[in-house]
Structure 1
Amino acid sequence: MREDSAPDALEARIATRLAQLRAEQSLSLETLAERSGISRATLSRLERGEASPTAAMLGRLCSLYGRTLSRLMSEVEEAAPEFLPAAVQAVWTDPQTGFRRRIVSPPGPGLRGEMLEGSLPPGASIAYAAAPLPGLEHHLWMLDGALDLTVEGVTHRMSAGDCLRYRLHGASRFQCPGEGPAARYVIAIIQP
């Protein structure tokens, strides 16, 4: 989130929304810790805005709350306009891996699709244990670099110009090989 013009405000809104989601589902920190595999202390720090969540943590929490990460991000942003200049698109950076996620086209009321840009540094990887919503349709288009994308146990080596479309029901892993430039790609996500 360091690239965002008001990173502290965005992180604070994420923290507040995570606390709201837990309250809406009447979950204690202990129960959420058991279900997510994230310690109670870390969850508490995340909800108070004292720690930045990693992509893996947000993935686990979004899965438990039944929403995509983009949906969570859109819930903490202002109402999404039809035209969204690049300068105001929300950018979030995973503090652990350096993964950057730009919300190019956030989900909106009555719309099923969203689009994001991802950039994963060389040697970095992000694994998600489950789909946030089973059956999400993804179209991943590589812009630069290389990416090993594993979807439900099958690994695809992707390079600039390649496109993979899939429905996500289970685990996935994004890994940028250790040599070469960052893996940069666009993902279009369509909810069932």
Structure 2
Amino acid sequence: MKQDRVNKNWTPEELDRFQDEVIMAADTNAIINYEELADMFGRTVLGVKHAANKLRHRGELPKFCKENQIEKYGSFYSKREKQMIMKLRSTHTHEEIAQMMGRTKYGIEYICRKQGPMLVKRWTESDLLLLINNIEFDSFGVTANYDKLTKILNRNVGTIQAKIRRLRLKGVLPPAKRSGMPEQKRAVYRQY
């Protein structure tokens, strides 16, 4: 790569050869061999990038399209992906969402921060009645049916646990004699 050739215009022959020698990624049309082209034409990498952009504007090279990127890392988030993140963020951590979607934890955090705070779903009287009527306790007063409650109330386990804790403090529900998992789950773990 030579730097002594400053402000030299590209000839039509050089641009034709440039189009023949350029290697592009199949999914995004990104040029992969800028350094090789710079050495080949005796130009700087920046000059080669400028020539490539000029050819793209003229329509002689295909436009760069990051949306088609096969590898998720570093690619743009589609509208569908953003909607999925917004649905999952109430029930999963940023790290879990990142693993599910093949993205970084920091990328998910950025999207969540950009979309604003989560909407809080308030507990209505009918929700409280459903919770109180459908809750099941084991002999120690530990809640035994979180799976059923999550389906009935359409809320995550953490929200239901917090509400049960607050109802116990108010005296609406009886206090548990011990903390931990219910007897049925303990029996399963004791088998091993």
TM-score, normalised to structure 1, is 0.20
| The structure with more helix, counted as a fraction of residues | 2
| The structure with more strand, counted as a fraction of residues | 1
TM-score, normalised to structure 2, is 0.20
Larger Rg: 2
Using CA pairs below 8 Å that are at least 6 residues apart, which structure has the higher relative contact order? 1
